[in-house]
């Protein structure tokens, strides 16, 4: 009987620990091995953005892709210089407003492994949409805050409440058995 109570209490603790956030940071898509430097992150179609990719194989071809919102288009192909740096001035094509990725793909500095660097950009529409999302910079990674809708629910409080109810019911049950016996 005591073993059952301990097992149920342990189950409650496990459920409570699952509800707490883990320490693992959320990753972005696409995975970024090194940030792609961009001159601006909020752009209107037709404007130019300068892109700089670093740590690629010297002399190798670096392809720059535009991805997101059902778009996966090669928009430039350049060669890395002797220092493994590739840069290009790109004209933003006509796109629907939203969040996109500029992705540089090529070979790493060892000239054997594939490498991918990326930067998130926001394409603006005719209306100035900069108020919808604040642009921030963390480390070498560009990020745009507040541009994704919140979906789903945070169920941590529901799970914790359920675990608390289980523990309270176990304590009441144990107290009744002690009073009866």
Report yes or no on 114 lying in a domain.
yes
Domain count, the chain: 1
Beta bridge pairs of residue 72: 67
Range of the domain at 96: 34-144
Q: In this predicted model, what pLDDT tens digit does every residue of 146-176 receive, in sequence order?
A: 344 445 566 777 788 888 889 888 888 888 8
Distance separating alpha carbons of residues 115 and 111, to the nearest angstrom:
10
Report yes or no on 68 lying in a domain.
yes
Q: What is the CATH number of the domain that holds 94?
A: 2.60.40.1930
- Predicted confidence at residue 178, as pLDDT, reads 86
pLDDT level of residue 132 (50, 70, 90 thresholds)? very low
Report yes or no on 175 lying in a domain.
no
- Predicted confidence at residue 141, as pLDDT, reads 35
Distance separating alpha carbons of residues 162 and 152, to the nearest angstrom:
19
Contacts of 139 (CB under 8 A, 6+ apart): 35
Report yes or no on 83 lying in a domain.
yes
Report yes or no on 137 lying in a domain.
yes
Report yes or no on 9 lying in a domain.
no
Structure-block tokens of residue 65: 């892709």
Structure-block tokens of residue 78: 């350049």
pLDDT level of residue 89 (50, 70, 90 thresholds)? very high
User: Has residue 99 got a pLDDT over 60?
Assistant: yes
pLDDT level of residue 179 (50, 70, 90 thresholds)? confident
Contacts of 19 (CB under 8 A, 6+ apart): 155, 156, 157, 159, 160, 163
Cis check for the bond before 54: say yes or no (omega within 30 of 0): no
Distance separating alpha carbons of residues 160 and 163, to the nearest angstrom:
5
Which pairing describes strands 48-53 and 86-91: parallel, antiparallel, or unpaired?
antiparallel
Report yes or no on 60 lying in a domain.
yes
Whole-structure pTM over 0.85, yes or no? Answer: no
């Amino acid at each position: 009987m005591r073993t059952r109570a301990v097992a149920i209490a342990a189950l409650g603790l496990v459920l409570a620990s699952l509800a707490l956030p883990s320490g693992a940071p959320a990753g972005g898509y696409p995975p970024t091995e090194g940030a792609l430097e961009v001159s601006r992150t909020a752009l209107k179609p037709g404007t130019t953005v300068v892109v700089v990719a670093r740590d690629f194989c010297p002399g190798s071809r670096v392809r720059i892709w535009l991805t997101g919102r059902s778009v996966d288009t090669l928009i430039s192909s350049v060669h890395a210089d002797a220092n493994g740096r590739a840069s290009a001035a790109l004209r933003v094509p006509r796109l629907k407003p939203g969040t996109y990725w500029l992705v540089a793909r090529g070979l790493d500095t060892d000239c054997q492994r594939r490498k991918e660097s990326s930067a998130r950009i926001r394409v603006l529409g005719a209306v100035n949409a900069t108020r919808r999302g604040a642009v921030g910079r963390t480390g070498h990674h560009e990020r745009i805050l507040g541009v994704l809708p919140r979906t789903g629910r945070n169920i941590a409080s529901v799970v914790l409440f359920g675990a608390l109810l289980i523990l309270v019911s176990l304590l009441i049950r144990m107290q009744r058995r002690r009073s009866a016996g």
